[in-house]
Amino acid sequence: MTKKLCTFLLSAFLGISAFAQNQGECSVAKDCASFAPKKGQWEVSLMLGKSNTFFNENNTYLLPNITTTTGAIGLPNGGVPGSDGTASGYLNEYLNIDGFNGNSLVNILGIQGKYFWQDCWSVSFSGGLNIGVTPQKNYIEPTVIDTDKAGNVTNQIPGAKYINATATNNWFVNAGVERYFKTGNKRIFPYVGATAGFQMARVDTREPYTGNMVEVAGEQVDQQVYIPAGKIGRMFAIKGAAVAGVEYDVMPGMFLALEFQPVSYRYDVIEIAPQGFSHYNLNHHNIKVFDMPTVRIGFRF
């Protein structure tokens, strides 16, 4: 399904662009199509698909996996295999840099708005936001009710596991400009343009009382004396891309659009910051051709 959609998108854009009639600025003259976007109009559309972003609902992988005896600060876990078995060296699964083959129309990327400052010229703005907050819950030790003669517990009230206090926020914003063209079909309008954007993902977690102890000089000490409770991980990226697409007006004021980015560049920065330790930083460059296929459904008014 994905490959068929992408093939159709590319074929439609290239085919329609070949027959596009660039007749200057589309004015309100009598030969202009009634469906054509006009100066002063707005568009609002829902963006469907999957982008090559780290915008997702779970960014806890940005937190270090360390204990008092094992682990290392880094992504993925600094070359020292952790409890999840990951090893150092490859970032793709964390940056989520996929393209056509990873598209899904059931994913909602965000919302886009456009304003036509000329009949065939528009400026666009898009974005998305996801915020999650989990309050902490302390570990509660079990209450022993009875033991046998050997001191083994025979009856107790169970304890309660702890929950980390976690705050996450993922968001992105894009701004761009597009040039629309007329065709022989009064409902179809190919367009080209450029866009620039910024995106960020952040997770901040605090451990409550966990009940985990370590032995120091023959005494049991709370593990948090040696492993700080606070951990922060964040990523941000800047991106620039060319944009190409086709809008089809289903009826006056309602349209369906297929869009992709012929070429794009993205720069990512990742920072892992456990409290009390040095920060761990890395960066990444990505250039892609034929990226981010997107379907937009919206209204023009």
Give the model's pLDDT for residue 199: 87
| pTM, entire model | 0.70
Task: Read off the pLDDT of residues 124-160 as tens digits, 9 standing for 90 and up.
Answer: 999 888 888 888 888 888 887 888 877 787 887 887 8
Closest to 91 measured CA to CA, from 254, 276, 282, 287: 282
Give the model's pLDDT for residue 248: 94
Of 4-8, 204-208, 253-257, least confident by mean pLDDT is 4-8
Q: Could you tell me the CA-to-CA distances from 183 to 16, 18, 61 in Å, in that order? A: 7, 9, 48
Mind giving me the DSSP string for 158-170? Answer: --B--B-EEEEEE
Inter-residue contact 67 to 227 (CB < 8 Å): yes
Task: Read off the pLDDT of residues 68-79 as tens digits, 9 standing for 90 and up.
Answer: 666 677 765 444
Enter the CATH code of domain 2-300.
2.40.160.20
Residue type, 77: N
Of 83-87, 148-152, 160-164, 291-295, least confident by mean pLDDT is 83-87
Inter-residue contact 141 to 181 (CB < 8 Å): no
Residue type, 264: S
Peptide bond preceding 76 in cis form (omega within 30 of 0):
yes
Inter-residue contact 210 to 167 (CB < 8 Å): no
Query: Which residue is associated with the tokens 């891309």?
Result: 241
Indicate the SS3 state at residue 201: strand
Per-domain residue ranges of the chain? 2-300
Question: Please, what is the end-to-end C-alpha distance for the chain in angstroms?
Answer: 32
pLDDT class for 30, splitting at 50, 70, 90? very low
Closest to 98 measured CA to CA, from 272, 290, 268: 290
